[in-house]
Amino acid sequence: MDAEELIESIIRALMFIAGILGNNWLAICSLPKLKSGIRTNEVLFINLALSNLITNFLVDLPDTIADFNGSWFLGETFCGVFRFCADLSETSSIFTTFFISAFWHQKLVGSLKRGGAPVQLDNLCLVMCLLAGSWTVAVVFSIPHFFFVSVEGGNGSEEDCLDVFPSALARQTYEAIYLTVANAFPLAGIVFASVQIVITLYQNQRRIRGHNSDAAKEVVEEDKSLENRDDERSLSTVSGKELNCSRPDGGPSDQSAHIAPFNRETESRAGAKPNVSRPNQMPSKPSSNTSTQVRAAKSVVAVASVVLVCWLTHLLLRITNNIHTSSIVVEVASYIAASYTCIIPYIFLHGVKKLSCKCKR
Using H for helix, E for strand and C for coil, what is the string for the chain? CCHHHHHHHHHHHHHHHHHHHHHHHHHHHCCCCCCCCCCHHHHHHHHHHHHHHHHHHHHHHHHHHHHHHCCCCCHHHHHHHHHHHHHHHHHHHHHHHHHHHHHHHHHHHHHHCCCCCCCCCCCHHHHHHHHHHHHHHHHHHHHHHHHCEEEEECCCCCEEEEECCCCHHHHHHHHHHHHHHHHHHHHHHHHHHHHHHHHHHHHHHHHHHHHHHHHHHHHHHHHHHHHHHHHHHHHHHHHHHHHCCECCCCCECHHHHHHHHHHHHHHHHHCCCCCCCCCCCCCCCCCHHHHHHHHHHHHHHHHHHHHHHHHHHHHHHHHHHHHCCCHHHHHHHHHHHHHHHHHHHHHHHHHCCCCCCCCCC
Q: Is residue 225 part of a domain?
A: no
Answer whether 116's CB lies under 8 Å from 181's CB: no
Q: Is residue 106 part of a domain?
A: yes
- pLDDT tens sequence across 274-308: 444 444 444 444 455 567 667 766 777 787 788 77
- Domain membership of residue 307 as a residue range: 3-211+289-351
Q: Is residue 220 part of a domain?
A: no
**What is the rounded distance in angstroms from the CA atom of residue 347 to the CA atom of residue 228?**
55
Q: Is residue 112 part of a domain?
A: yes
Written as one letter, the residue type at 86 is A
- pLDDT tens sequence across 339-349: 888 888 888 88
Answer whether 148's CB lies under 8 Å from 163's CB: yes
At 330 the pLDDT is 67
CATH of the domain at 323: 1.20.1070.10
Q: Is residue 270 part of a domain?
A: no
Q: Is residue 198 part of a domain?
A: yes
Q: How many domains does the chain contain in total?
A: 1
Q: Is residue 277 part of a domain?
A: no
Answer whether 339's CB lies under 8 Å from 18's CB: no
What pTM, to 2 d.p., does this model score? 0.73
Q: Is residue 47 part of a domain?
A: yes
Per-residue pLDDT of the chain in tens (361 residues, 90 and over written 9)? 677 778 878 888 888 899 999 999 999 988 887 656 788 888 999 999 999 999 899 988 888 888 888 788 888 888 999 989 988 998 999 999 999 888 888 887 766 666 666 778 888 999 999 999 999 999 999 999 888 888 876 555 567 888 888 888 888 899 889 988 988 899 899 888 888 888 888 887 787 777 777 666 666 666 666 666 655 565 555 455 444 444 445 555 454 444 444 444 444 444 444 444 444 444 444 455 567 667 766 777 787 788 777 777 777 777 776 676 666 766 777 777 778 888 888 888 887 766 554 544 4
